């Protein structure tokens, strides 16, 4: 399509100027000569270096399984990143420091791996000890007997509460 635009018969001066700009923009970041050759060689080296390691890391990572044995059968779970054991058997790795086995209780011992946190004794959710209750319900105050047997004549009836004199309209309800 560009050969049709290069003919002098159909282009005006403004169109030729726009075409010239378009060609310049198209070549703006292009490399030529020795620079282009070196750049292509560098790209090829990078592709070989990164594709080889990325492909190798992908195949080893996807095929990396847990090294633990349960009843003489190897565990089929995928290992955690940067380790050789799965989450169930991570405590068998002596070099790791992120998980500890749950201590459980006297009645039900537990060896589930639990992430080490700020607490000194990490526990699984089943054996987690809750902190003491911070809310203390308010106790009902005991009413003295003297107040319970108060005379009823201290209270005024509704008729006695009515005003005896008439009030102006602005003060009435």
Q: What is the pLDDT of residues 18-38, one digit of tens each?
A: 888 888 888 888 888 899 999
CA distance 166 to 173: 12
CA distance 22 to 62: 48
- The four Cα atoms 24, 30, 31, 36 give a dihedral, to 10 degrees, of -140
CA distance 85 to 69: 10
The CA angle 15-19-25, to the nearest 5 degrees, is: 145
Full-model pTM: 0.40
Q: What is the pLDDT of residues 123-157, one digit of tens each?
A: 888 888 788 888 877 877 776 666 555 555 666 66
Map out the domains of the chain as residue ranges: 14-51
């Amino acid at each position: 399509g560009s050969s049709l635009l290069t003919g002098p018969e159909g282009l005006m001066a403004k169109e030729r100027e726009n075409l010239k700009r378009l060609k310049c923009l198209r070549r703006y970041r292009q490399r030529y000569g020795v620079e282009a050759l070196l750049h292509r060689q560098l790209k090829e080296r990078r592709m070989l270096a990164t594709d080889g390691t990325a492909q190798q890391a992908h195949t080893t990572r996807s095929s990396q399984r847990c090294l633990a044995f349960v009843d003489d059968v190897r565990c089929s779970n995928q290992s955690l990143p940067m380790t050789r054991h799965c989450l169930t058997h991570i405590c068998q790795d002596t070099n790791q420091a992120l998980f500890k086995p749950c201590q459980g209780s006297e009645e039900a011992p537990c060896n589930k791996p639990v992430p080490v946190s700020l607490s000194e004794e990490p526990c699984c959710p089943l054996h987690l000890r809750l902190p003491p209750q911070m809310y203390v319900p308010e106790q009902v105050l005991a009413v003295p007997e003297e107040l319970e047997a108060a005379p009823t004549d201290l209270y005024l009836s509704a008729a006695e509460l009515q005003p005896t004199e008439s009030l102006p309209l602005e003060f009435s309800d």
